Chain A
Amino acid sequence: MDPDAALITRAREGDTTAFQEIFQRHRGTVSRIVYRMIGPSADVEDVVQEVFLNVYRSLPKFRGDSKFSTWLYRLATNVTRMHLRRGRSRPRFTDVEVPETSRDGRPPETPDVQVERAERVRALYRLLDDLSEKKREVLVLHDLEGMPAKEIAETLDIPVLTVRTRLFYARKQLYAALAAEPSLEGVMKILMDKLPGKPKRRRKQDAVT
């Protein structure tokens, strides 16, 4: 039996440990989605907790028409969307620490490189703030979370074609914004200098799946 299905059945019967197991089993995935969606922020923990409160309360309504993971992604996306909407009227705390990159055996980055990378990540999230909610969600789920277009379509309950269209226009808008972003001017210049005649090839796997 699907472990999620068994947990849901137990939770619906009032087994409190089943709720706890759902949290422990899926908190990593939910945290990752929330973090990718809102970026480096002090609010990540609050949003993750809110997602699970909503998961608990909505479990009786889960009919099993879709996979539990798809339902969970949808709920996490909705809660994060509401959080971002509420946050629009509030100042953002951009001086939150950006976590280190996983180096996987590579030599550690120097502090200068780390600072530069953190600034680039912050710049990306600043630019993501300018995308519409719909474009941002698709772009984050596809490009940052690595979710296939078909699964995004199920999660957001939109046609696959719409996912592809939104992704295309979201990237297009970001390309223009990146080119005009002052904090990335130096990197842009280096990349531009490399380009004439023989631009560096882009990985195929990042094309729309």
Chain B
Amino acid sequence: MTEHRPKTAALIAYSGDLLSSEGRRRVDAHLAGCAVCREELAAMEMYDSLIEDVRSSRLPALDFESMEVPLAREAENLSRQMVAQKRRRSAAPWVAVAMAAAAGLAIWAWRAQPARPAEASLTDPSVEAPSEIPAPAPEVSSPLAESPRLTPVVTLAAGSVDRLAGAEPIEVGLGDLIPEGSTLRTAENSEVHVRLSNGTAIRLAEGTRTTLDRARTDAVDLELREGTVAARVASLSSGSTFVVACAGYEVHVTGTRFVVSYLEDVVGVDLSEGSVLIRDPNGAEIRLTAPARWRSSGGVDGEPAAPAIRGAEEPHLTPTPVTLSDERIVRWSLDGIDVDALGTVQVGVSPGEHQVRGWDARGRLFRVVLPVGTTPVSLDPGSLRAQAPRVHAGHLDPEDIRRVLGRGMRQVQRCYERSLRQSSHGGGGHARLRLDIGVMGDVQRAQIRGVPDGPLSTCIRNYAMRWTFPPPGGPVSLEQPLNLTPRQ
């Protein structure tokens, strides 16, 4: 026999008095004998009342003043950028004319020279130009000149990060320059953020190996050998490219925010802004437009990942180095950027007050406001404070615990017997119930170990969440063994 399911739409119409008198009579008659529908109708009433409670509740008093300092600082930075951009825009036509004239002169000068030896290449920086051939000025935007290099700078280094340029790996720290051809490696629980001088920001997650093949104003090429790279690409000018090559695939980016991963032999692309063109090893092309997720192994659902990257948003100012280190902390958050890291985090920040938050392995939150000036700052581990209201532990009298749990164990037994009736195996045996009790004595969290997720554990948890202890004056945690056996 199938279970009766309430017709929610009909009940809404009924409770909203939208039915005809005949329809209403029929629903009335049904309700008189249908507990399930009455329950749903009661839940609707309850919902309305709860919504009313929330709607009429005042907003908590927020400390807007403390927000004004960082917001004013950000506004000042942005204003400077906007004014500078405006100046550049107004100067742009004259700059373009000057650039074109310089390029014309360079081409004329090059043509006037004797023919170069065939093996000489102006675009290969490793080959020194023969003395009789003048090397082109790097600032001139000639089609024959090598385009200027971008400067990749480390904006955040967390945990263990190194760079392979020769035989020996070199440890990477905040502010280091990453030359073309370098391979960056991040260990487990480590990550590194790099900002290019054109505003593009790249983040290597833990366990990543990537080579920066080219970093030029017209072309940035990365080769991802393993791990995950996220990037926020600054607007590309016409003809410029940003390509991530990975296991025979190429991801061509056209001004966007994206993540490329190469994990367990699967290439993945998460695109949260803009568009990319993926070229597979056979030359076939796939175009993605945000928001999109793509995997070389097949389709995938869900929202694309879009991690924040240090340096992507900030103007290119001289930052003050900040070192965060606390052996308790496994995850940091600084100004909204999350970093999973064991060990030290080095990051450059602008002067001012910064919110630093950290979580330990048990998920407890610590926070501190860190004032930063123009000299390097190290966080004093003692200054991290546990997040209120976990101020001090409370105390419960053993007799009170026995009294509440004694009543509760009868409910646990009922849950177990009900689960036995519903299925041949009730998931019995020995289990443990952990209770986190709040300041007012209410159970904040109930966790059951030794019972698989299902109706039995849900039933026990639901009952446990209703137990009330005398107010312990602070958070208290208890663990109670459960012996789940049929009553004799």
Using CB atoms and an 8 Å cutoff, list the residues of chain A in contact with chain B: 11-16, 19-20, 23, 27-28, 31-32, 35-36, 40, 42, 44-46, 48-50, 52-53, 56-57, 59-60, 82, 85-86, 90-91, 93-102, 115, 117, 119-121, 123-124, 143-144, 146, 168, 171-172, 174-176, 178-185, 187-188, 191-192, 195-197, 199-204, 206-207
Contact = CB atoms under 8 A, between A and B. Distances in A.
A195 B336 contact: no
A45 B63 contact: yes
Contacts of A176: 40, 43
Contacts of A97: 60
Contacts of A146: 55
A178 B47 contact: yes
Interface string B363-383: 111000000000000000000
Nearest to B50: A124
A95 B387 CA distance: 12
B54 A93 contact: no
B308 to A, nearest CB: 9
A50 B338 CA distance: 13
Nearest to A181: B462
Given A49-B71, A178-B47, A202-B44, A121 B465 contact: no
Contact of A182 (B41, B46, B462): B462
A143 B44 CA distance: 13
Contacts, number: 205
A120 B465 contact: no
Interface string B88-116: 00000000000000000000000000000
A197 B66 CA distance: 55
A81 to B, nearest CB: 9
Contacts of B43: 174-176, 178-179, 188
Contacts of B47: 171, 174-175, 178
A192 B53 contact: no
B395 interface: no
Nearest to B63: A45
A130 to B, nearest CB: 12
B71 A56 contact: yes
Given A14-B79, A171-B47, A204-B16, A188 B42 contact: yes
A96 to B, nearest CB: 7
Contact of A202 (B16, B64, B83, B440): B16
Contacts of B465: 182-183
Contacts of B176: none
Interface in B9-63: 9, 12, 14-18, 28, 31-32, 38-51, 53-60, 62-63
A184 B46 contact: yes
Contact of B67 (A52, A115, A178): A52
B449 interface: no
Interface SS of B by simple majority: helix
A199 B31 contact: yes
Closest 7 CB pairs of A and B: A19-B75, A202-B15, A191-B42, A14-B79, A175-B43, A14-B83, A182-B462
A42 B56 CA distance: 20
A61 to B, nearest CB: 11
B439 interface: yes
Contact of A95 (B8, B45, B74, B438): B438
A36 to B, nearest CB: 7
A196 B42 contact: no
B72 interface: yes
Given A60-B82, A99-B59, A144 B51 contact: yes
A63 B306 CA distance: 23
Contacts of A117: 53
Interface in B353-367: 355, 359, 363-365
B266 to A, nearest CB: 23
Interface in B105-136: none
A171 B43 CA distance: 10
For B14, B42, B55, B60, which residue has the most chain A Cβ atoms within 10 angstroms?
A: B42
B62 A44 contact: yes
Contacts of A202: 12, 15-17, 44-45, 48
Contacts of A199: 14-15, 31, 38, 41, 45
For B59, B313, B364, which residue has the most chain A Cβ atoms within 10 angstroms?
A: B59
A185 B39 CA distance: 11
A99 B57 contact: yes
A153 to B, nearest CB: 18
Given A32-B59, A120-B53, A95 B67 contact: no
A94 B436 CA distance: 11
Contacts of A56: 71, 74-75, 78
B430 interface: no
Interface string B263-297: 00000000000000000000000000000000000
Given A19-B75, A91-B363, A124-B50, 11 more contacts: A49-B67, A53-B74, A90-B359, A95-B389, A175-B43, A178-B43, A181-B462, A182-B465, A188-B39, A202-B16, A204-B16
B31 A196 contact: yes
B475 interface: yes
Contact of A172 (B8, B57, B60, B336): B8
Contacts of B389: 93, 95-96
A120 B52 CA distance: 11
B148 interface: no
Interface string B439-457: 1101011000000000000
Nearest to A186: B466
Nearest to A198: B28
A48 B62 contact: yes
B54 A115 contact: no
27 contacts: A11-B75, A15-B79, A19-B71, A42-B388, A45-B62, A53-B70, A90-B365, A91-B364, A93-B389, A95-B475, A99-B58, A99-B59, A101-B58, A102-B57, A120-B50, A168-B9, A175-B43, A178-B46, A183-B466, A191-B46, A192-B38, A192-B39, A195-B38, A195-B41, A199-B45, A201-B16, A204-B17
A196 B80 contact: no
Nearest to A202: B15
